[in-house]
Structure 1
Amino acid sequence: MSNVFRLLVLSLLVIGKGDGVYGLVDEYRRDDFPAEFVFGSGTSAYQVEGAALEDGRSYSIWDTYAHSGFCSGANGDIACDGYHKYKEDIELMAETGLEAYRFSISWSRLIPNGRGSVNVKGLQFYNDFINRLIAQGIEPHVTLNHIDLPQILEDEYGGWLSRKSVEDFVAYAEVCFREFGDRVLHWTTFNEANLYALGGYDTASSPPGRCSSPFGYINCTIGDSTYEPYLVGHHFLLAHASTVRLYHEKYKAMQHGFVGLNLLLFWFEPYTNTTEDVKATQRANDFYLGWFLNPLVNGDYPEIMKKNAGKRLPSFTKIESEKVKGSFDFLGINHYTTLYVKDNPKSLETDNRDAYADMAFTYTGIEFPIAEFPLKPMGLVKLLSYLKEEYGNPPIYIHENGQVHARNATLIDTPRVAYLQAYIGAVLVALRNGSNTKGYFQWSFFDLLEMVGGYGYGYGLYYVDLDDKELTRYPKLSAHWYANFLKGNNISDIVISNLKVKGSFSS
């Protein structure tokens, strides 16, 4: 028995002890979840497809951002070459036992000019992709915009800074509903709408990389961090609401699908039990979660946002408020860990404030650069409970949840197995507490191009060898663990005897 194989045995025995160290539930299996609950994994177009200028695709703001050096010098020109390897990739999904797959459509591939003519090659690709998923019994869950607005619209009128983006997005969404809606039931308008606005327009940590001094992670030459994030978030909400209305009025009766919005959500805990830190924690929830969910549920922004941001935060007209309120069939959440909040009132003392200064708190819980997320599964239970109690228990899909790790050929990713075991167990606890959670998607199916770290770290169940011209995919230990769970095994019994160890593990 090789040393790698011995380590694999030892690691699995430790994780499978069922001593409660890693999670909230010692034992569970797929059958403990409702039959209609769906388990899957996901990627996004720019992070996996490659073929950046092939078959009519045009650049998106993510292409431009990456080629400016912001993704640690990496780019998605080739990525995992999912555009060419999607057939074998879907076979891998089926072998893994995925019940659903979350992916995004590249607006630039489907409609290269941002509006107008549909690219036939792009249409063929997504049609075949969806058809092959369904043929394998895998539900397609589609995100319409995963931080990749066509660059041509950014150049023409400033992208999401302009109201024109609302009209163009709705027209793009209608093409997707018309062409794919007979097979796709679950649509998400925006991925991480809150972080999209903050990262893209406050700190420049994501496309299109706008900010103003002294707020950005880079020395920005364009942007205004004091108001642009709020303006863009406002346009996201208007575009989302208009898209939902279009779907419900024109397509819902025929297609019977659902349209939701996705947010990045941490669970926030007070750093101390002082009144100040407790209030700061609620403020953190209002800014991260309430910024979008309050309008969707109640028709307006949280009062603390209106107070701290003042006139920099756009206001809804009565008609807009009525249109936005109730305009979602589900909420998608991306959750990775828990943060600890400490009050920081001094950030409100300056007139030149960005959105983060308006929040008036600091946090701990993640060290940068990120090595691994600490295991805090109870945070997910509390987050789902908070959504249940404060926002009427909406239908929820956990769209992203996973463990980050240095991207290398080490296939025995025991920290990721421990993470999955803990957090899927947390979902089960939340369901037993009455949460209306409908599905769980591990992030990500492959190691991908990531926003800040490029190819330096990954979340994948499968390692992609970038030094191999074939970009060969190799299953990690986590892929085997997830596959065995999806095939019905009790997680406390998923030890070496139950795993199909392929040659890549012991080579």
Structure 2
Amino acid sequence: MWNLSLLQILVITLLAAIGVCNGTNKYSRDDFPPTFVFGSGTSAYQVEGAANEDGRTPSIWDTFAHAGYARGATGDVACDQYHKYKEDVQLMADIGLEAYRFSISWSRLIPNGRGPVNPEGLRYYNNLINELVDHGIQPHVALFNYDLPQALEDEYGGWISRKVVKDFIVYADVCFREFGDRVQYWSTVNEPNVLAQGGYDTGIVPPQRCSPPFGRLNCTRGNSTTEPYIAVHHILLAHASTVRLYRKKYQEKQHGFIGLCIYALWYKPFTDSKEDIIATRRAYDFLYGWVLDPLVFGDYPQIMKENAGSRIPAFTKAESKIVKGSFDFIGIIHYLTASIKDNSRSLAEEHRDYTADAAVTIAGNFSLTDFEIPITPWALEGVLDYLKQVYGNPPVYIYENGQRNQRNSSLEDTPRVEYMKAYIGGLLNALRNGSNTRGYFTWSFLDVFELLDGYESGYGLYYVDLDDPNLKRYPKLSSHWYSNFLKGKSAGSEGLNEFDRNPETVSFD
């Protein structure tokens, strides 16, 4: 199993930092491989709406939102893509998107989590996929994005029960069977590392399970000490079993690819002390290695097993064999950087959760009270280099990367343009340095319902007027910039190009 030395950690950090100095100043779509794909994305609850229509039943995300935890907002209507998918796909085609990533709502397709397939849900996803394919847009589908059917959560506790593994496999089988003739890129579970921390340790995201003193919200159930580890263990077993099903039953005929998506902060030591450098490696093991080590090496990182002890489940030999190698690509969600300071004293505490087991203090460069995310493209380069050095340079799709702005009617989102320019330039640097990245998807296509703050922030290429009964979409400056980039115009990393400054003169023809 991989064991990074202190020197190697420093080298990776230095190479990433150098990227910002040697950044790509000018580039175009033609600088990327022809097979590289550029797209944008959303997820089901955030964009579809029609939450109570055509047989769909509540998910844990509905329950969370209706309890008021997303600033009182819900996804009941959201952007109403359920009814406006044809209009949205036409907008994607107008921009020149090469791919669109979306998730399937399990409770829309199989309302009780298991049992009969909902014909209206099946019809919707078939229609959406057909519309994308007809417009030459490659569908990339996530099977799960925080939205477990509430029925399964109520019945057996969702991801903390091993029963979920079988139900997830059956659900995935339906998706492969019904959509796999047109969908070639599947990811199973979106960012299980953050789902486990937020959903089962701090309780800040659904299903909002936690226990004192670790929970940040008033959780009424859960165990922060054990459940994050149990949830990820069952997610990995469900993922690996689903990959095995896909490879045995569908892959040869459908010629598709399947992977899993992790949340990937870029970490750097708070100081150059030996303790903080070791702590940074530990932080990577607890965030990346928690999911990727089993997929690449067949087991959890040794430091996680040592620090968590019997609270982290063990793979049997048979399970390890199934999990190891169970991916064709790794999906990455990246926005932020953070500094790591050693906090080994937390290991002496009698009661510990996931955060205490990691024994680090994380100082981020962004909080929810901020709106604009700091632009640090070298951090993305660092993430990609880390995957290359530690995990053998697997195929990677960057499935989320984008700039957060306060949600309002201003279409002059210059900070988002600058963010996209910088990060796509950083990505090009990484490719030239040997990264095996295959695609980049900006988050998000529309200003969607956001998990933690509802409609107060927006990441979209399009503004959606929530006061308009028709939820009219308006292109932002960033959509014009992305369109021109995708159509071959040169992008500079400094300043705005002429077509950026005059979006009203830009034609999608």
TM-score normalised to structure 1 length: 0.94
Shift in Å, 1:21 = 8.4
1:63 aligns with 2:54: no
Asked whether the equivalents of residues 481 and 499 of structure 2 are also in contact (C-alpha less than 8 Å), the reply is no
Structure 1 392/500 Cα, relative in aligned 2: closer, same or farther at 3 Å?
A: same
- 1:160 maps to amino acid: W
For 1:6, the equivalent position in structure 2 comes to none
- 2:343 maps to amino acid: N
Q: How does 1:94-493 map to 2 (within 5 A)?
A: 94-364=93-363, 365-492=365-492
For 2:88, the equivalent position in structure 1 comes to 89
Shift in Å, 1:444 = 0.4
- 1:440 maps to amino acid: Y
The superposition leaves residues 369-394 of structure 1 with CA deviations (integer Å, 9 ceiling, x where unpaired) of 23221111111111111101110110
Distance 1:305 1:425 in 2: 35
DSSP 3-state at the match of 1:187 = strand
Q: Which runs of 5+ in 2 are unaligned?
A: 1-18
- 1:113 maps to amino acid: N
Number of matched pairs: 485
Asked whether the equivalents of residues 23 and 377 of structure 1 are also in contact (C-alpha less than 8 Å), the reply is no
DSSP 3-state at the match of 1:410 = coil
For 1:7, the equivalent position in structure 2 comes to none
Shift in Å, 1:337 = 1.8
Runs of 4+ in 1 over 4 A off after TM superposition: 20-23, 497-500
For 1:501, the equivalent position in structure 2 comes to 503
- 1:390 maps to amino acid: V
Distance 1:430 1:503 in 2: 33
Distance 1:342 1:141 in 2: 37
Asked whether the equivalents of residues 23 and 421 of structure 1 are also in contact (C-alpha less than 8 Å), the reply is no
Asked whether the equivalents of residues 79 and 449 of structure 1 are also in contact (C-alpha less than 8 Å), the reply is yes
Structure 1 166/21 Cα, relative in aligned 2: closer, same or farther at 3 Å?
A: closer
Asked whether the equivalents of residues 484 and 494 of structure 1 are also in contact (C-alpha less than 8 Å), the reply is no
Shift in Å, 1:362 = 1.2
DSSP 3-state at the match of 1:333 = strand
Distance 1:159 1:503 in 2: 51
Asked whether the equivalents of residues 23 and 426 of structure 1 are also in contact (C-alpha less than 8 Å), the reply is no
Asked whether the equivalents of residues 110 and 122 of structure 1 are also in contact (C-alpha less than 8 Å), the reply is yes
Shift in Å, 1:498 = 6.9
Shift in Å, 1:484 = 0.6
Shift in Å, 1:327 = 0.5
Distance 2:325 2:499 in 1: 50
Distance 1:107 1:370 in 2: 33
Shift in Å, 1:221 = 1.1
The superposition leaves residues 230-279 of structure 1 with CA deviations (integer Å, 9 ceiling, x where unpaired) of 00000000000000000000001100101100000011000110001101
Asked whether the equivalents of residues 22 and 422 of structure 1 are also in contact (C-alpha less than 8 Å), the reply is no
For 1:12, the equivalent position in structure 2 comes to none
DSSP 3-state at the match of 1:77 = coil
Shift in Å, 1:22 = 10
Distance 1:346 1:369 in 2: 30
Structure 1 148/30 Cα, relative in aligned 2: closer, same or farther at 3 Å?
A: same
TM-score normalised to structure 2 length: 0.93
The superposition leaves residues 213-236 of structure 1 with CA deviations (integer Å, 9 ceiling, x where unpaired) of 111121211111001000000000
DSSP 3-state at the match of 1:370 = coil
DSSP 3-state at the match of 1:91 = helix
Distance 2:410 2:150 in 1: 37
Distance 1:345 1:499 in 2: 51
Distance 2:139 2:472 in 1: 24
When the two chains are superposed, the root-mean-square deviation of aligned CA atoms in Å is 1.6
Shift in Å, 1:437 = 0.3
DSSP 3-state at the match of 2:503 = coil
Distance 2:105 2:447 in 1: 19
The superposition leaves residues 15-36 of structure 1 with CA deviations (integer Å, 9 ceiling, x where unpaired) of xxxxx98992100000000000
Shift in Å, 1:206 = 1.0
Asked whether the equivalents of residues 331 and 394 of structure 1 are also in contact (C-alpha less than 8 Å), the reply is yes
Asked whether the equivalents of residues 499 and 505 of structure 2 are also in contact (C-alpha less than 8 Å), the reply is no
Answer with 46-55 or 347-356: which moved more.
347-356
DSSP 3-state at the match of 1:238 = helix
DSSP 3-state at the match of 2:235 = helix
Distance 1:503 1:426 in 2: 28
Shift in Å, 1:501 = 2.8
Asked whether the equivalents of residues 481 and 499 of structure 1 are also in contact (C-alpha less than 8 Å), the reply is no
Shift in Å, 1:166 = 0.2
Shift in Å, 1:499 = 7.0
Q: Which runs of 5+ in 1 are unaligned?
A: 1-19
DSSP 3-state at the match of 1:393 = coil
